[in-house]
Structures are given as structure tokens and as C-alpha cells.
Amino acid sequence: MKRPRSPFLLCAITMLTILAYHGLAIGAEKVHVGYSAISAVTVPLWAAQEKGLFKKYGLDTELIYLAGGSRVVLGMEANSIQVGLFNAGAAVEARLAGGNTLMTGSVYDVYYFQIFGKPTIQSPKDLKGKIIAASRAGAASEYGIRDALARYGLKENDYKMIYVGGTDARVQALQQGLVDASIISPPNGLIAQKLGFKEILNLMQMKLPFGYMGIGVNESWMRQNRDAMRNFFKGYLEGLALCRRDQEYAMRVVGKFSRIDDREILLESYRTSIPHIPEKPYVKKEIIEAALKLSKRENARSADPEKFYDNSVVKEIEASGFITALFGKK
């Protein structure tokens, strides 16, 4: 005679069935992932999340948008965020202050910005005495303004920088006449152009070395969860491969997260981002050196750049043949 199943067992079976139905991996590790910019260079992360690629590798990821890399790093130092996409300068500043943030991957190694301003501003030198909108202190936008305008002989006291938030807010500040110029990332440059503003400077074309977007981690968390970090990279890289194969899908994802439906703008977003994101996302020493040079901290002058990044996880993934399987031999 069969013994009746207990209510507890039936409940457990039901819950496992529900989890399986919704595609949730049993025992999936929860990872909070912060990102600092609503821009097209973030699309591999978004695509991986949308397609369930992190779940495929056993991770239950939650994406958290925080405008400005310094805010992502604050979350990482508190361990409320374990992995993040943000600028290398924010990680360098945190580590110089004794923090635990470490760069482990590269996404975009030059400034992904343009400076747009009022039509009366003819050249970068005309920004002397003007008000320029950036995201927040310690964000890539602040570094970009300082670094780019220094090449034209402008010092920090030659202009006023105000912090207004994300790239949408910086376009709005320009539109509302609150500032003379704004530093913004694609596709918002095309939006600013359609609104009648003038491109004063294209930082992408300047190709100044800077880790505009990289992959950072709470170092203590990574030491204890190395498999999870490896699986994060696998999901992210598969997201990049998907975007390379399917431009239309990548554009839809950009449109969803940026709330843009103008096809011309979405095409420009794709053109300026996905083809330039590395398949082998190694952090370059020169990117850390550039961030140290921009830092105002006294200990930055004597700091060893190699203490600020760790390429070992990417090396392991490349050695396994995973990257070649995704993208083919180059």
C-alpha cells in the first residue's frame, strides 16, 4: 500500500516546478550588478539580462542603475553591489582611499562623450567663463571635461562645472538654458543636434586613453566567489556576441533602456558602441595610469598601477576556449 505524500513534500515539488517554469536556476547565486550610464556601451549587460544569459550560468542577477561611477563604487564598498560597470577613475579613487574595489575587465577604453553647447560657442576655447553640465563628482563626465579641455589650454578655474545627473538630465539642462554646454554620451548627441545645439568637441575622436566603462568588483567578494565572477563574464560576453550577431535586437534593447524609439538615433548608438567593445576584455595598464594621472590625491603620484586591476578571470576564460567559441579566431 502506497503511503500518501506529505503536504510539505507536495508543496516543495510545486515550488520547484514554479521555479523551473520561470527559468530560475535552483540554488542560483544572487549578484547585484550596478551600472553607471544609460548608454549604448552598456547594451551587452542589458542584453544578457533580458535573454536570461546570467541565469544560464547559475546567477540570479539584479541590475541597479546609479548615475555616476562614484555611486556604484559606494555601493560596492558597502557590498550592496558585488559587480559593476563604471569608469576606471572611480575605482582608482576608491582604492587610493583604502577601498576594496578592483577593476577586472574593460568595456570602452576612450571617453564615450561629446560636448554640445549653444550655437554661439564656436570652439572649445570659447568655453572659458561658461557653465558646463556633468553628471556628478568622480563620474566619467567630470574626468572627460577636465581632460579634454586641458588639451585646449583651459584650466579648471576657467569654467564652472555643475552636476545635474544622468545624460538625459544634461540634455534637459542645455534645453532649459541652465548651462552653456553639456557633456553627453551617444545617442543623446544626435538628440542634442536635432534640438539645435552644436557639437563643440567629440571626445571619441580625440581617443584620449580613459576607462570610460569597465567591469569592477568588490575584491573580497571575488576571492570568495570566483566561480560566480567567472560566470558573470561568461553571461556578459555571450550578451556581447548576441549583440554582434543581431543588430536589430541590440537596437531594441538600447531603445527599451534609454526610452528612445528614433531609428536613426538607435543606429548611431549601435555604430558608435558595439563594434568597439572588446571580445577579450583585458584591463590595460595605460588606462589605470591615465586615471592615476587625473587623480588629485597625493598618493596617486607614487601608486603602482598594477595594484588596481586583475585580469586573471578573463585569462582563465580565454584559456578555456570560451571566447574563441563565441567570436571565432581573430
Same domain, 168 and 214: no
Residues near 36 by beta carbon (within 8 Å), at least 6 away in sequence: 65, 66, 67, 68, 69, 71, 72, 84, 85, 86, 87, 90, 139, 140, 213
d(CA 200, CA 119): 9
Mapped onto helix, strand or coil, the DSSP state of residue 154 is: coil
Q: What is the DSSP string of 306-324?
A: GGSB--HHHHHHHHTTHHH
Same domain, 219 and 90: yes
The pLDDT confidence band at residue 9, using thresholds 50, 70 and 90, is very low
Q: Among the three residues 166, 186, 207, which one is the final residue of a domain in this structure?
A: 207
Tell whether 187 is covered by a domain: yes
- For 288-316, how does the pLDDT look when each residue is reduced to its tens digit (9 = 90+)? 999 999 999 999 999 999 999 999 999 99
Tell whether 286 is covered by a domain: yes
Same domain, 319 and 185: no
- Are 105 and 215 in contact by the 8 Å Cβ rule? The answer is yes
Q: Among the three residues 183, 207, 231, which one is the final residue of a domain in this structure?
A: 207
Same domain, 313 and 175: no
Mean pLDDT of 178-199: 93
d(CA 281, CA 103): 11
Same domain, 218 and 96: yes
Mean pLDDT of the chain: 91
The parent domain of residue 128 ranges over: 114-207
Same domain, 139 and 184: yes
Same domain, 118 and 257: no
Residues near 114 by beta carbon (within 8 Å), at least 6 away in sequence: 183, 184, 185, 186, 189, 192, 199, 201, 202, 203, 204
What CATH number does the domain containing 314 carry? 3.40.190.10
Evaluated on CA atoms 114, 120, 123, 124, the torsion sign reads negative
Which of the two residues, 151 and 28, has the higher pLDDT score? Answer: 151
- For 261-287, how does the pLDDT look when each residue is reduced to its tens digit (9 = 90+)? 999 999 999 999 999 999 999 999 999
